[in-house]
Amino acid sequence: GDKASFFEKHGFVLCKAPTKIKDWNEDYLDEETDISKIYHQEIETLIREVLFPEGTEFTKIDQPPAVLRRGPGTKSNFY
């Protein structure tokens, strides 16, 4: 089956989606980041084209200006 059908059935799907992001900002107070300028559009396009190819009723996808990274070498060095 396709990714949209898998998502519909299971509520998640893994997608291979390269990004143009260079700086993975972890500061939620900074609104002007690569995350908000580049990544948000990449993710919205992926959601609309891969998960909802037939269209959807939602008009906006809320996304924070930073990412939560966990693990060694990050501010949150736990899993």
Q: Which residues pair with 70 in a beta bridge?
A: 76
Exposure of 40 in the CB half-sphere (CA atoms within 13 A)? 15
pLDDT (tens, 9 = 90+) of the chain, 79 residues, equals 699 999 999 999 999 999 998 887 777 777 888 888 898 899 999 998 999 888 878 778 888 777 777 777 777 665 5
Q: Please state, in angstroms and rounded to a whole number, the distance separating the CA atoms of residues 30 and 45.
A: 23
Ramachandran angles phi, psi of 52, nearest 5°: -130, 60
- What letter does residue 71 receive in the DSSP assignment? S
**End-to-end CA gap in the chain:** 32
